[in-house]
């Protein structure tokens, strides 16, 4: 049986993640309060950030930036796209 969470992003009960997707306290907070659907939204947003900012995720500065944006995306004011970003039509 799937576990459900009260998703902080969708503001509703939804299917929870199968495992913690990130290490540490942030990963536990995500596991406890983020649905699979919201996690997929983050993955798309993260991909856009990596591409637009031309990040190399193996670099510590890029990982720190992405972690900060992840926390803002789920638990803060939200993570914004770069000013120059134009969404595909």
86: buried, middle or exposed (CB in 10 Å: 19+, 13-18, 0-12)? Answer: exposed
pLDDT band at 86 (very low <50, low <70, confident <90, very high): confident
H or E element: which one contains 27? Answer: helix 24-33
What does the alpha-carbon distance between residue 33 and residue 5 come to, in Å, rounded to a whole number? Answer: 6
Could you give the angle at the alpha carbon of 32 between the alpha carbons of 15 and 78, nearest 5°? 90
Q: Which CATH class for the 4-75 domain?
A: mainly alpha
Q: Is the pLDDT of residue 82 over 90?
A: no
Condensed to tens digits (0 to 9), the pLDDT of residues 12-69 reads 999 999 999 999 999 999 999 999 999 999 999 999 999 999 999 999 999 999 999 9
Residue 1 confidence (pLDDT): 57
Per-residue CA distances from 79 to 29, 42, 62, 69, 70 (Å): 17, 9, 15, 6, 7
Q: What is the pTM of this model?
A: 0.88
**Cα–Cα dist 4/17, whole Å:** 8
Local structure of residue 10 (DSSP, 8 states): T
């Amino acid at each position: 049986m799937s576990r459900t969470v009260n998703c902080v992003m969708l503001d509703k009960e939804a299917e929870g993640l199968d495992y913690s997707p990130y290490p540490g306290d942030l990963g536990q907070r995500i596991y406890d309060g983020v649905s699979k659907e919201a996690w997929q939204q983050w993955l798309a947003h993260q991909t856009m950030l990596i591409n637009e900012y031309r990040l190399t995720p193996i670099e510590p500065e890029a990982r720190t930036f992405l972690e900060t944006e992840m926390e803002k995306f789920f638990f803060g004011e939200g993570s914004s796209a770069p000013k120059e970003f134009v969404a595909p039509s």
